[in-house]
Amino acid sequence: MNAAATPLLELRDVSTSFRVGGFFTPRLLKATQEVSFTLDRGEIVGVVGESGSGKSTIARLISRLVPTTGGAMLLDGDDVLVSEPRRASLAYRRRVQMIFQDPFGSLNPVHTVAHHIERPLLLHGKATKENARSAALELLDDVGLRPAEDFIDQHPHSLSGGQRQRVAIARALAPEPDIILADEPTSMLDVSIRMDVLRLLDDLRHKRGLAILFITHDLAAAKHLADRIVVMYAGRMMEEAPADQLVKEPAHPYSQLLMAAVPRRGGSLHDPLPADPGTPPLVDPRPGCPFAARCRQTVAACTTTTPPVIQLGPGHRVACHLHTARTQ
Ligand SMILES: Nc1ncnc2c1ncn2[C@@H]1O[C@H](COP(=O)(O)OP(=O)(O)OP(=O)(O)O)[C@@H](O)[C@H]1O
Ligand SMILES: [Mg+2]
């Protein structure tokens, strides 16, 4: 295989289901269905969609916190679901790190900042007991906690939300990962410091060549930070396009609805959008396109057949019967 053409990470038709319902009536909730996209070194891919669309599930699938029920997940061309079927190896976990939404919950209140950062350094062989403290100080400086000596012996409760999120980022950087999965990393932060954290992530991808999966409700932030954006709805990928193109010329009626919301509502998806009858059922989903009930441009196939993902142009894919019909 041509190494230059092999993406760092590739998801191919990745699906997962959760068991829900009672003990005697177990049912399957299809949280993601046939999700496919790539993530390359130095690239930021945004994942947007309303609550329950499967965004966090994608991050949890990639970090192997939840099992897949189908598809392939290739890291440097190697399908990790085949080579490491039961659980991710330490090597995989080193390469793929996660930053969570809640900087309060993700740090242990009984431990100091030093402990949080030295632990992954030691676990992944990136420092020895002798130099772990100086390596941790360097990481704190890298994430903008300066002078680092003022922060390293603090406990999380004495830090602000933004400082805590920077500690979480330093911890994620400690194993020298290739990929950071950032699940709503700024949504619990004060609006005034969100931009600083986004700038830090952007800076890190440039300086370290990190690949970042940036999951967000905030369309304006996705537009600002991401190179490409994946739009999710009810567990399915509706569209993927370069960020500029998605904002200017969204092809899927759902993306059009989202993008129309950017200037009007400050670009956040925390409140329901207009004409929202609620998320379609993920348990026993209806046949056809999940967005059909909200769509004003439906054709007959929308309620009977799941639209295939088709290529509209370079890096631009959409799952919509309107476009399937036009390209045939
Ligand atoms: N462990 C689980 N067991 C059962 N259902 C789950 C589990 N995790 C997620 N789900 C369900 O899967 C669907 C997708 O959830 P997910 O957390 O991925 O959505 P999301 O897009 O991240 O939403 P939000 O924007 O609110 O964070 C939801 O219906 C959710 O209730
Ligand atoms: Mg989520």
pLDDT for position 23: 80
304 belongs to a structural domain: no
pLDDT digits (tens, 9 = 90+) for 296-321: 899 999 999 999 999 999 999 999 99
Average pLDDT over residues 178-183: 98
* pLDDT band, very low/low/confident/very high, at 113 (cuts 50, 70, 90): very high
Yes or no: say if 252 and 290 are a contact pair by the CB < 8 Å rule.
no
pLDDT digits (tens, 9 = 90+) for 258-300: 888 765 555 565 555 656 667 788 888 888 999 999 998 999 9
**3-state class (DSSP) for residue 58:** helix
Our count of domains for the chain comes to 1
Average pLDDT, the chain: 92
Rg of the chain (C-alpha set): 21
Q: What is the CATH number of the domain that holds 101?
A: 3.40.50.300
Stated as kind and residue range, the H or E segment containing 156 is none
126 contact partners, CB below 8 Å, separation of at least 6: 120, 135, 174, 175, 176
pTM above 0.85? yes
Residue 25, pLDDT above cutoff 80: yes
289 belongs to a structural domain: no
- Ligand 1: which of 14, 30, 55, 215 to mutate, judged by most atoms within 8 Å of the beta carbon? 55
Task: Tokens 């009007």: give the residue.
Answer: 264
Dist. CA 48 → ligand 1 center (Å) = 14
pLDDT digits (tens, 9 = 90+) for 220-251: 899 999 999 999 999 999 999 999 999 999 99
More confident residue, 26 or 153: 153
316 belongs to a structural domain: no
Which CA distances in Å does 233 have to 126, 157, 238, 239, 289?
39, 37, 6, 10, 10
309 belongs to a structural domain: no
254 belongs to a structural domain: yes
pLDDT for position 219: 86
User: What are the residues whose beta carbon lies below 5 Å from ligand 2 (ion)?
Assistant: 55-56
From atom 28 of ligand 1, which residue's Cα is the shortest distance away? 52
Dist. CA 122 → ligand 2 center (Å) = 30
151 belongs to a structural domain: yes
Dist. CA 56 → ligand 2 center (Å) = 4
312 belongs to a structural domain: no
Domain of residue 257 covers 8-19+29-273
